[in-house]
Amino acid sequence: MTWDELIREMNAKMQIPGQTNAWTMPIKARLDMLSTGIRTPIGIKIYGSKSSEIEKIGIELESALKDLPNTRSIFAERVTGGYFLDFNFDREALARFGISIKDAQNVIKYALGGATVSTTIEGRERYSINVRYAPAYRSTIDDLERILISTPKGVQIPLKEVGRIERMTGPGMIRTENGLLAGYVFVDVDTDDIGGYVDRAKEMINEKIQIPSGYTLEWSGQYKSIERVREKLKVILPITLLIILFLIFKNTGSLTETSIIFLGIPFSAVGAVWLLYLLGYNMSIAVWVGLIALIGIDAEMAIFMLLYLKLAYKKQVDAGQMNNFEDLTTAIHHGAVKRIRPKMMTVMTTFLALVPILLASSSEAGADVMKRMAAPMVGGIFSSFLLELLVYPAIFAVWKGRQFTKSISDKKEG
């Protein structure tokens, strides 16, 4: 049974009223929570100035996205779901008895919360002594209204003489980020295409929900990591291409040869994309790592092919047998066709090393990541090898053929 099948079975059998399921790996969930505060693959952070408005937006998001395809579960925090007792003191009544607000609040503090008055010592052990009202005297609102407050004259009056107690709701926990109040919406999905899901969710939110002025949404969770890596790849990928281009030029010393070798990179990407499509893999960090590795492998194989063509051409020239286009064709035949075995060995060693990774069971540890790294390299190597066998010799013939024609023309003019 695969991981996805196991989740579907557990999710179908564990539908508990009032509870929301979110299926993820414990360590992975812990890391995501520590880095982003979100315990699910995708989370929406709502920033604003009022907790009640944040909760309202969260509930609207929950209602709007629950029917979006690939949404396994969604839950918006009820940030104002805490229940509290608010003690409101009548300042005029307190003044008549000569009691300050601080003294009245201290009575509530010690009667309900208690106060450490001493510490008992039992050998090497230390225990604090806490004093407060017994549970029987603070279990109901009527009990709390009978809490006694001492006046400066030593008279004790019940709390209800100088204040009132109100039931109210408010934030169970005040969450703040970037200087603003925050609320979370947790989203669990049954797809690996997290980026595509977020794009569809953003479109639905723009259509169905009007976010009030002063309130903003931030997509977090694993999507945050995807965005961070995407920004880094915008820098890393061009730098990688420039380094490869520079190394190829230093190796060949010719812009023409460098351009011919660099032409193979788009063709290798074609095979990589097709194999990713056939396997049903989405673009991910692992896929991008595989594509970057493919660029280096493809450049190496192209240099190898061009080297054989150049050696065969030079050998023909040194032997004085480069007199017409047929001689050029013969040289290309020696460089391409008669050297196919070493080129095939170069490709097959890489191919055979990667295929076992690609065929590994998805249930094995790390297989999901490794398979997505190997897939673009396997597909890209196959397409670039066909390019080297079919296209490179033709490009080489056109390139050297023009040089050959130009040299003949110069001899005739001379």
More confident residue, 171 or 409: 171
- The answer to whether 381 and 350 are in contact (CB under 8 A) is yes
The phi and psi torsions of 185 (rounded to 5 degrees) equal -120, 120
Cα–Cα distance measured from residue 100 to residue 87, given in angstroms and rounded to the nearest whole number: 14
- Helix axis angle for 285-318 and 392-413, nearest 10°, is 40
Task: Say whether pLDDT at 367 is over 80.
Answer: no
**pLDDT value of position 253:** 79
Q: Which of 3-17, 20-34, 151-165 has the highest mean pLDDT?
A: 151-165
Q: pLDDT class for 120, splitting at 50, 70, 90?
A: very high
Burial of 349 (0-12, 13-18, 19+ CB in 10 A): exposed
Q: Percent of the chain beyond pLDDT 70?
A: 94
Say what the pLDDT of residue 47 is. Answer: 92
Least confident of 109-123, 156-170, 359-373: 359-373
Taking only the tens place, the pLDDT of each residue in 87-115 is: 899 999 999 999 999 999 988 888 888 88
* Domains of the chain listed by start with CATH number: 3-81+174-224 (3.30.70.1440), 84-169 (3.30.2090.10), 254-413 (1.20.1640.10)
Question: How many whole angstroms separate alpha carbon 414 and alpha carbon 410?
Answer: 6
- Residue 3, pLDDT > 60, answer yes
Tokens of 339: 């050297």
252-309, pLDDT tens digit by residue? 777 888 887 777 777 778 888 888 888 888 777 788 888 888 888 888 778 878 888 8
pLDDT of residue 28: 75
pLDDT for the residue numbered 317: 78
Residue 8: count other Cβ atoms within 10 Å of its Cβ.
15
Specify which residues 115 forms β-bridges with.
131
pLDDT tier, 405 (very low <50, low <70, confident <90, very high otherwise): low
CA 115, chain centre distance (Å):
48
Confidence of residue 119 (pLDDT cuts 50, 70, 90): very high
**Maximum mean pLDDT: which of 49-63, 289-303, 306-320, 366-380:** 49-63
328 in Cβ contact with 401 (< 8 Å): yes
Mean of all residue pLDDT scores within the chain: 82
* Tens digit of each residue's pLDDT (9 = 90 or more) over 166-219: 888 877 778 888 888 888 898 888 877 788 888 889 988 888 888 888 899 988
